[in-house]
Amino acid sequence: MKVEGVQHIDAPRAKVYQLLVDPVGLSRFIPGCEQLERTGDNTFAATLKAGVGSIKGTFKSTVKLEDLRPNEHFRMVVDGKGAPGFVKGSGDLDLSDEDVGTSVKYSGDIQVGGTIASVGQRMIQATAKMMAVQFFTSLERDAKPSGDTSSAPPPNFFRRALSWISGWLREFFRKR
């Protein structure tokens, strides 16, 4: 399954790149990340809580940063396994200057297997897009100058909203 998009971040490209390759920053940006620790050069072990629809679980993952070109490009490769199945994926992130801020173009492929794959590609695609929004919302919040007092939604806002809406729809259609 392909995931791609472009996101604008109101911060200089060098700052955005530095936040993206920093393990402390990554642990704050990746939705559901409970732990991210360095295991080698640009390689990390991660514990993530994630799910699609009603299938949720904890994944033990490896995260690798490859093809690093400072302030310009890198590739993130993720390989995770857990009770609900497995997730494998890789994605390229390309940064470029805009009039104000930075444009981050991302594209990647994700493979999902096990029980979690049973919910269907549409649901997985929607969850992937939602997680991308959460990732970039958190990144933008950290990239803003410290004097900026405007607030972004809490990191799990979109996940809770989608969960509430899907629960409501299930109940609505169950009554009919």
| pLDDT tens-digit series, residues 6-41 | 999 999 999 999 999 998 888 888 888 899 999 999
What is the pTM for the complete model shown?
A: 0.75
Domain with 133, as residue range(s), is 2-175
Residue 156: how many CB atoms within 10 A of its CB?
12
Q: Tell the burial category of 134 from Cβ atoms under 10 Å away from its Cβ (0-12, 13-18, 19+).
A: buried
| pLDDT tens-digit series, residues 161-170 | 666 676 667 6
Angle between helices 121-143 and 13-21 (to 10 degrees): 120
Query: Does residue 85 contact residue 105 with C-beta atoms inside 8 Å?
Result: no
The structural domain count of the chain equals 1
CATH of the domain at 50: 3.30.530.20
